[in-house]
Amino acid sequence: MPRAATVLRLGALALLIAFLAKPQSFAPLFAPLAQYGAPPIYDQGNLLSLALAQLGTVCLAAAASTLVAVGLGVLVTRPSGAQFLPLSRTLVNIGQTFPPVAVLAVAVPLVGFGEKPTLIALFAYGLLPIFENTLVGLKTVPGAVLEAASGMGMSARQRLLAVELPLAMPLILEGVRLSLVINVGTATIGSTVAAKGLGEVIIAGLLSSNTAFILQGGLVTGLMAILLYDGMAALERRLLRSVALD
Amino acid sequence: MITVEKLTKRYGETTVVDEVSFTVERGSITVIVGTSGSGKSTLLRMINRLIEPSSGRVLLDGRDTRSEPAHLLRRRIGYVIQGHGLFPHRTVAENIATVPRLLGWQEARIEARVRELLTVFSLDPAVYAQALPHQLSGGQQQRVGVARALAAEPVVLLMDEPFGALDPIIRAKAQDDLLDIQGRFGTTVVLVTHDMDEAFRLGDRVAVMSGGKLLQYDRPAELLVHPADPFVSRMTGLAERAMRLLSLITAGEAALPGAAEGPAVAPTATLREVLSELVWSGADAARVVDADGTVRGRLTVAAILARGAP
């Protein structure tokens, strides 16, 4: 990674931490955006705890999406599960095309307000990239490698765990990263059904015509998404340095 | 010892392998040759049950191969394929340790075996044990593939066009290595190829397949002198049969007593090579000389030519 880019990322991270820790010290910066003496910094809750709550929801949803999407991907690439490929693909596609807002609307009557409907919406929305990447990852393991694994006497399970999944891992992680980043932004809508998160700040700004609030919610969410993306990418590179890509 | 009895594989109406029977002696090399689609690879894969036969059976040292689960059977049988199929995410040492790990060997025993094999295959353990497959040359990858197949001391080694992806010089070296290693470990080898030169060079016995049928299973010289079928003659090459016959006899075996002038040849050289040398140098006879300089005898052009006729 070029040095300048690393410096920029570390700078962004420092800025984010500084803002979340001491938002009031940034008040002069946002003051021109707040009209008629409105507070320039969100004051109806702790920004740090809102950001952490949103991150937590997103990570929980991503963990569930990963478990289900990778599980489905493994199932439909086994000879016995191949017939479920069209069905699985349809299901995860619906998860992606059904708008998360609509999922919230459907979920609230079933599970009530709060975190749960948001988790459901993000879970469904995050399935597709992980599922498709798992499929591609598993299907592109070279045939000679699979044949060698079976020829050596690995059972189907050993072959999956020791050969197929490790070789598909770079693509699976890429899918997880994509899903995480999409959902950091999407999670803000959870605040419409009373889930804790930065959407609260944006909505408060919209209701009181306070551009400073809207910008704060948006910027913090955006920075979190960018840093999460880069952090995951760096983690992948570290984890997968041993996976030869020749 | 491998006994193949009326082994058959059908896919719907198509019969890929048709009632093939033969026996492979312990410690010998059997080469299965045939054109593409002759069923030779299918036959090989039925021995380790990567493909399940439609009918017939395979006995390994008298025991039916279906008497145990397929993956357990395969741990006792070495398997080498074209393009080696090394695990790209594992080091050379880990690749070689695959079957011993599956069998639950002690770590110290695995490590010793890996070192031994790397040394046998002229790969310095200090340099190559921790290397990843993509850091090796094609010839080295192929050697690691064979080392991995031999790691758990299998009694049988199956090889499916193992040298097909190598260039001619590395292939010749790989064939020499195989003969050397087979002699050292006494492994029973069944090798599939479409290269007749390879078959004659390596095989104690050669099986010629066409259209799923085993046309002839015999010593290489017998295939030349008594072909069972016109297809066998075509495979062995009518125009070259005399030279092929000469390539099956070494100078040491054919040497006549007495001394001679002329070029020196090693006892391990084939008569084909000696004849070529004589034609090139314009000499009438060659001296067969050991590595330590002892003269073993002489070979005249006439004596060589006499061995090239049935």
Taking 70 as the pLDDT cut, the residues of chain B under it are: none
CATH code (residue A217): 1.10.3720.10
Residue A41 lies in a domain: no
Q: Say yes or no: B47 contacts chain A, CB-CB below 8 A.
A: no
Q: Which domain covers residue A241, as residue numbers? A: 54-245
Element of type H or E holding B206: strand B205-210
Q: Which of B75, B76, B133 sits opposite A244 (nearest CB)?
A: B133
Q: What is the pLDDT of residues B112-141, one digit of tens each?
A: 999 999 999 989 999 999 999 999 998 899
Structure-token pair, residue B113 = 């075996």
Task: Give the C-alpha separation, B295 to B285, whole Å.
Answer: 13
Q: Which of B85, B89, B145 sits opposite A242 (nearest CB)?
A: B89
Q: How many CB atoms lie within 10 A of CB B177?
A: 17
Residue A176 lies in a domain: yes
User: Closest approach of chain B CAs to the CA of A127, in angstroms?
Assistant: 27
Residue A43 lies in a domain: no
- DSSP state string for chain A: --HHHHHHHHHHHHHHHHHHH-GGGGHHHHGGGS-TT--SS--SS-HHHHHHHHHHHHHHHHHHHHHHHHHHHHHHHSGGGGGGHHHHHHHHHHHHHS-HHHHHHHHHHHH-SSHHHHHHHHHHHHHHHHHHHHHHHHHTS-HHHHHHHHHHT--HHHHIIIIIHHHHHHHHHHHHHHHHHHHHHHGGGGGGGT--STHHHHHHHHHTT-HHHHHHHHHHHHHHHHHHHHHHHHHHHHHTTTS---
Q: Is the dihedral of CA A103, A106, A110, A113 positive or negative?
A: positive
Answer yes or no: are the C-beta atoms of A54 and A60 closer than 8 Å.
no
Burial class (CB in 10 A: 0-12, 13-18, 19+), A110: exposed
pLDDT (0 to 100) of residue A241: 65
pLDDT (0 to 100) of residue A242: 52
Answer whether A153 sits within 8 Å of B75, measured CB to CB. Answer: yes
Residue A117 lies in a domain: yes
Q: Say yes or no: B200 contacts chain A, CB-CB below 8 A.
A: no
Residue A102 lies in a domain: yes
Residues of B in contact with A166 (CB under 8 A): 89
User: Closest approach of chain B CAs to the CA of A107, in angstroms?
Assistant: 43
Answer whether A144 sits within 8 Å of B74, measured CB to CB. Answer: no
User: Closest approach of chain A CAs to the CA of B75, in angstroms?
Assistant: 5
Taking 70 as the pLDDT cut, the residues of chain A under it are: 1-2, 241-246
Q: Which of B48, B50, B87 sits opposite A145 (nearest CB)?
A: B87
Answer whether B134 sits within 8 Å of A150, measured CB to CB. Answer: no
Residue A70 lies in a domain: yes
Answer yes or no: are the C-beta atoms of B284 and B301 closer than 8 Å.
yes
The type of residue at A153 is G
Q: Which residue of B has its CA nearest to A169?
A: B89
Q: Say yes or no: B50 contacts chain A, CB-CB below 8 A.
A: yes
pLDDT (0 to 100) of residue B123: 92
- Reduce the DSSP state of residue B228 to 3 states and report it: coil
The type of residue at A235 is L
Residue A27 lies in a domain: no
Q: A47: closest CA among A205, A233, A236?
A: A205
Residue A241 lies in a domain: yes
User: Closest approach of chain A CAs to the CA of B61, in angstroms?
Assistant: 19
How many structural domains is chain A composed of?
1
Q: DSSP secondary-structure letter at B240?
A: G
